[in-house]
Amino acid sequence: MNRTKSILAAITCCVITLLIFAADASAGYAPIEFREVWGYMMRGEEKKFSVDAPVTDICYFSVGITYRGKLTSAARRPSIPDYNGQKRRIHLVVANLDNPALMHFCLDPWYGIRDRLVAGIVAHSIDYDGVQIDFEAVQPADRDSFIEFLRLLRAGLPDGKVLSVALPARRKKVVDAYDYGVISSIADRVMVMAYDQHWSSSRPGPVASLEWCRAVARFSRSNVPQGKLIMGLPLYGRSWQKNGYSRAVGGREIDKILSRTDARFEYSVETGWVITCDEKVAVVLYFDDVTATREKLMMYRSYTDSVAFWRLGMEKRELWENISIENGGRRVAGAAEDPGVSRAD
């Protein structure tokens, strides 16, 4: 418990120090204009949303799937105020993040589950403006099944419903299930999750460095029409414990630990001795302030006119002062119906 408190205190100290002493160089700059700004809203966090934020599209996260091809729950459409007199589109996110076996079972037509899943998603979409598929555990061997699933879903959704697909960040073509070009020929929007450059089990590093994001945007734009491409940005940082690892401890070192005055002891024949003691923990934290996020927004504007944020409620309010929506948030006729039309690069 004391060690946990030390970790939390160190992280809190880092965050407070950075927030107090880091000058926000974005203040006073003109907002960057986008056609669409998407944001992810966690179910149960509706009250965290800044209703005057320049967000055109809400991704309501999320419902899962079962091995029977059904959705795990019914998600009632949240009530979100309009933006500048225009209704925000609300998209139901259907997600599976870490179960490749379930993905195979539900997508491969041999098992007879796929069509039931498609029908269930179509039925649940009735109160929403669109559906987003966020299947992050599809294996390369299931690529064709995934593509066919998307085709069937697109065909099954009523006219006017937006189909978007969230895809992992790539800087070059790799052999996997997420073919940017093919998927963008089916979906109305492709959201590239340009974050988690470093993650919980990797070495410490930025969640989304500027040059890494530029490489992701370059590859994305070469494979996805500009009118369909959405570049995702993180609103979170990540911290690592510098000594967060396990190791073997020999007899002499055990004797030293036993002699510590803060050592606490438990014993059972099942586990042997359990000795707990407190140590100082060094923490390294990476996160983007509003200035760093603005730099990414300006860079992305060279590749697309739509961005997304993971996730709403984690941002500083100053972020929204750096963003504006084309035409004051009024949707241009034809923009949703023909999203694949690219503008000049």
pLDDT value of residue 279: 79
Number of helices and strands in the chain (H, E): 8, 14
Question: Considering the entire predicted model, what is its pTM?
Answer: 0.84
User: Per-residue pLDDT for 9 more than 60?
Assistant: no
Reply yes or no on whether the pLDDT at 248 is more than 50. yes
Contact 98, 137 (CB under 8 A): yes
pLDDT given for residue 63 in this prediction: 98
Q: Where are the alpha helices (DSSP H) in the chain?
A: 2-21, 100-107, 114-124, 143-156, 180-186, 210-223, 251-258, 290-300
**Residue 247 included in any domain:** no
Domain that holds residue 81: 29-241+285-329
Q: Note whether residue 154 is domain-resident.
A: yes
State the chain's mean pLDDT as an integer.
88
Residue 123: its pLDDT value, please?
98
Helix, strand or coil, per DSSP, at residue 217: helix
21 assigned to some structural domain: no
Residue 320 lies inside a defined structural domain of this protein: yes
Residue 134 forms beta bridges with which residues?
A: 95
The closest of 96, 117, 97, 95 to 106, measured between CA atoms, is 117
Tell me the mean pLDDT in the region 153-164: 98
- Which of 33, 36, 45, 136 does the annotation list as catalytic? 136
Mean pLDDT on 87-98: 98
DSSP, collapsed to helix, strand or coil, labels residue 276 as: strand
Bond into 62 cis (ω within 30) = yes
Tell me what pLDDT residue 28 has: 72
pLDDT of residue 203: 87
Pairing of the two strands 89-96 and 57-63: parallel
Whether residue 163 contacts residue 152, with contact meaning beta carbons closer than 8 Å, is answered with no
CATH number of residue 76's parent domain:
3.20.20.80
Q: Is residue 98 part of a domain?
A: yes
Q: Helix or strand or coil: residue 291?
A: helix
Closest CA to 91 of 320, 277, 258, 336: 336
Residue 280 pLDDT grade (very low, low, confident, very high; cuts 50, 70, 90)? confident
Question: Please, what's the largest Cα pairwise distance for the chain?
Answer: 76
Q: Which helix (H) or strand (E) holds 10?
A: helix 2-21
**Contact between 280 and 6 (Cβ < 8 Å):** yes
Supply the pLDDT for residue 24. 57
136 part of the active site:
yes
- Rounded Cα distance, 335 and 341, in Å: 9
Per-residue pLDDT, 201: 84
Number of domains in the chain: 1
Q: Evaluate whether residue 52 is within a structural domain.
A: yes
Higher-confidence residue: 20 or 184?
A: 184
At residue 300, what are phi and psi to the nearest 5 degrees?
Answer: -65, -30
Share of the chain above pLDDT 90, in %: 70
Residues 6+ away with beta carbon under 8 Å from 23: none
Determine contact, residues 145/109, Cβ cutoff 8 Å.
yes
Question: pLDDT value at position 197?
Answer: 95
Any domain includes 342: no
Q: Which of 32-36, 300-304, 339-343 has the lowest mean pLDDT?
A: 339-343
Asked whether residue 12 carries a pLDDT value surpassing 90, the answer given is: no
pLDDT at position 8 over 60: no
Residue 228 is assigned to a structural domain of this protein: yes
26 pLDDT band, cuts 50/70/90, is low
The larger pLDDT score, comparing residue 200 to residue 164, is at 164
